[in-house]
Amino acid sequence: MAYHLPVLLREVLEGLAIKSGGVYFDGTVGGAGHSEAILKADPTVRLIGTDKDDDAIAEASGRLAPFEGRFSLHRTDYKNFAEVLDEEGIEKLDGFLIDTGVSSHQLDDEARGFAYRKKDAPLDMRMDRRCSLTAKDVVNTYSEERLCCIFREYGEEAFASSIARGIVRAREKNEITTTGQLEALVEEGIPPKFRSAACARKVFQAIRIEVNGELDGLKECVIGLLRRLKSGGRACILTFHSLEDRIVKQAMRELSTACTCPKSFPVCVCGKREEIKLLTKKPLTATEEEIAQNSRSKSAKLRVAEKL
């Protein structure tokens, strides 16, 4: 299975503004497209990468082999960045990249169960296959109320209630085990006039987020990484759906805002100072040319900030 083309590669490299001798962190290595470009940008830079997926670590290890001695990879969640950087003896970074998207490899590998287009794939969806919770567990054991909440909050699904109800009724007869079964149940829960070829996308996204805890601690992670940058260090964060982008936007706004005292106060008493400068007031998106070459770049949003 091929790994996806690195999304917004030119924009990421420009955003990071690679410095000679710099240390960079790629929190979601994937197929190492971005990591390779960072290492190629300057022969003196060092890269530390993380990924939860063992396939990604194996792929990245091979792709980055020509840069031996200049990179290290850790199979872990990027939210554990503090432990990784401490282990590597790195106090401050010159830049970091987080790409929160699911890789094409994961979507295209039928055994992973991420995509509703793979009709007979097992309901798995784990990015880290060491974890016990699977999509099958979520679909077959969560209460109707909890499923409804997940579909509504993580998938922004308008018909969350009827879809959850249909799933619970169906599993009373037989366990739901494949992506095709789940897709059919989602379609049944949506009124005919609102159905489309991709009507299961939101529910699959919601279950994937739940299985992998994708939003848990994201804001704290972004703030922590931003504070781990050297002065002048750059942050690039790629998101692929509105929930993640909203969290990243809030985290960056929090650190880019100075005094938060009420306007009625004659002087500042909070003492808050700006910690970062936002370099993208609006997120960067893929060009039409890139979208034509890589359709999965269509939903990508890139936010860039610089540490003061």
| Tens of each residue's pLDDT in the chain, 308 residues | 455 689 999 999 999 999 999 999 999 999 999 999 999 999 999 999 999 999 999 999 999 999 999 999 999 999 999 999 999 999 999 999 999 867 555 665 666 756 656 668 899 999 999 999 999 999 999 999 999 999 999 999 999 999 999 999 999 999 999 999 999 999 999 999 999 888 899 999 999 999 999 999 999 999 999 999 999 999 999 999 999 999 999 999 999 998 778 877 877 877 788 999 999 999 999 999 999 998 889 999 999 999 99
Domain at 9-100+217-307, CATH homologous superfamily: Vaccinia Virus protein VP39 (3.40.50.150)
User: Residue written as tokens 């929160």?
Assistant: 100
The rounded distance, in Å, linking the Cα atoms of 240 and 64 is 25
- Evaluated on CA atoms 184, 188, 190, 191, the torsion sign reads positive
Strands 23-26 and 46-50: parallel
The rounded distance, in Å, linking the Cα atoms of 79 and 178 is 30
Closest by alpha carbon to 302, among 89, 73, 59, 16?
16
Domain ranges for the chain, please list them.
9-100+217-307, 109-212
Kindly calculate the radius of gyration of the chain based on its CA atoms and give it in whole angstroms. Answer: 21
For domain 109-212, is the CATH number 1.10.287.1770?
no
Q: What pTM does this model have?
A: 0.91
Residue 178 is given by DSSP the state B
